[in-house]
Amino acid sequence: MRAEEIQKLLELQQQQFQKNQSELQERQNQQLLLQQQQIAELIEKLGSKDAKQIEQDKSADYCKLNKLIVEFHCDIPRAYTFETWYEKYKTYFEIEGSTLSQELKVRLLISKLGGPEYFKIAQKLLPRKLNDLKFEELIKELKEEFGDPRSKLLKRFDTLKLKCNDFENVLEFGNLVNAECEKSEMALTIEEMKILIFISGLPDCGSELKQNCIRLIENKIKKNEDCTLKDLLNDCKIFLATKKEVKLLSEPKQPSINTTFFNIQRGRDHGIPGYIAWRSLCNLPQVRDFTDLNTTISNEIVRENLKTLYKKVELIDMYVGALLEDPIEGALIGPTLACVVSKQFKALRDGDRFFYENPDILSSEQIKQIRRATLSRILCDSGDSMKKLSNVGTNSLCNTYLDFSNVLKNLDILSSEQIKQIRRATLSRIICDSGDSLKKVSV
């Protein structure tokens, strides 16, 4: 055979081989695609079967737990709170119910609430719905709502007041003590024991002080702060001082401590600067000796008495010096007290965010209108129906109701038309027409 024929034969064989190879590759690809589709369908069938099985298992667990868990009914007098109930069934939710979703746990917990309990917590959380809460969030809300309102301190305090009424019931009393000590967690530190003994030992007449001590300790507990007996005694000291001050001011007819002496001594105890230091603060004339006091204390005899008592002008107590000052014009107190009191009232006014002159409360135009108002204008605008003055004091003139018709009925000096005009007059109209210069009302 010639070389050309051999070459053609080889080319034909090569083409046939490539054709067969491509057909084989295509058939293999089709078979592989078919197998993949079959595998995917099989996996889908198996997956749906497992999902159904899982849902069935969850439903079975839910029904099982629903039968095991008892419905919750709050009973505070018997110390049966939600926390007590949940501690008993906590493992059911966490272990047996571990396969349940958050939604199913919430639904199960809600189904275990008694009627009154469900209504109370649902009303509290409005407009939110119970089913919208997370499980842990719902647990927290239920513990707060159906917990013992008494603090740990009050529980311990009530435990200390337990008494055995009958000698024959000693064993029952022992069981009661054991149970109450467990409830109130009677594991005390030394400071807690001191505080408990102190409060328990307070006399029955000191109920207000006792309540004040309990409030202080409860506030410390809420802030996670430790409370010592020293802190409690300091608070009691402040409370008793306040009560004493109120008594001095509210019972002037009762025999009590001399208020002036008490205030002088209190100023010294607190280290309040002397009268001269307060004068400097208020920018009053400088005082070097007792004669320099003549600018504010004009009475020479008073200045001599001060010199006899204090020896040095720097030693004069603030309370004494301020009260001995001559009153400033239009006031009952002298310049030093006026300065101190005005600073205090200014601080109170500036610290009041609702004060009408503060920025962003009222506009400048509104403030101008308020400042322009007079008592006569207020009465004119709002008192047309006023017939008589109310009983505003002991002055008989203020309590007199003038019936114009009775006063003028027998007078011949006025015409009938004039009498009609007087009868039509109202107190507010009289004040409106003639009282723009009215500055104050005396009674």
The model's pLDDT over 365-402, given as tens digits with 9 standing for 90+, comes to 888 888 888 887 777 777 766 666 555 444 443 344 44
Q: Does 442 or 351 have the greater pLDDT score?
A: 351
Q: Which of 183, 172, 185, 177 is nearest to 160 (CA)?
A: 177
Supply the pLDDT for residue 436: 56
* Number of Cβ within a 10 Å radius of residue 318: 22
pLDDT confidence band for 150 (50 / 70 / 90): low
Q: Does 352 or 207 have the greater pLDDT score?
A: 352
Query: Is the model's pLDDT at 173 over the cut of 80?
Result: no
Q: Which residues contact 101 (CB under 8 A, 6 or more apart)?
A: 58
Tokens 């999902």 locate to 51
Q: What is the mean pLDDT of residues 302-322?
A: 88
Q: What is the mean pLDDT of residues 28-50?
A: 71
Query: Is the model's pLDDT at 303 over the cut of 80?
Result: yes
Supply the pLDDT for residue 399: 41
pLDDT confidence band for 416 (50 / 70 / 90): low
Tokens 């008594």 locate to 247
Query: Is the model's pLDDT at 87 over the cut of 60?
Result: yes
Q: Which residues of 239-249 are buried (b: 16+ CB within 10 A; e: fewer)?
A: eeeeeeeeebe
C-alpha–C-alpha distance, residues 293 and 300, integer Å: 9
Query: Is the model's pLDDT at 159 over the cut of 80?
Result: no
pLDDT confidence band for 109 (50 / 70 / 90): confident
Supply the pLDDT for residue 339: 92
Supply the pLDDT for residue 400: 41
pTM metric for this prediction? 0.32
C-alpha–C-alpha distance, residues 12 and 311, integer Å: 141
Supply the pLDDT for residue 443: 44
Query: Is the model's pLDDT at 89 over the cut of 60?
Result: yes
Q: What is the mean pLDDT of residues 345-364?
A: 84
Q: What is the mean pLDDT of residues 228-233?
A: 83
Q: What is the mean pLDDT of residues 243-258?
A: 56
Tokens representing 404 are 């114009």
List the domain boundaries for the chain: 69-145, 152-250, 259-350, 374-434
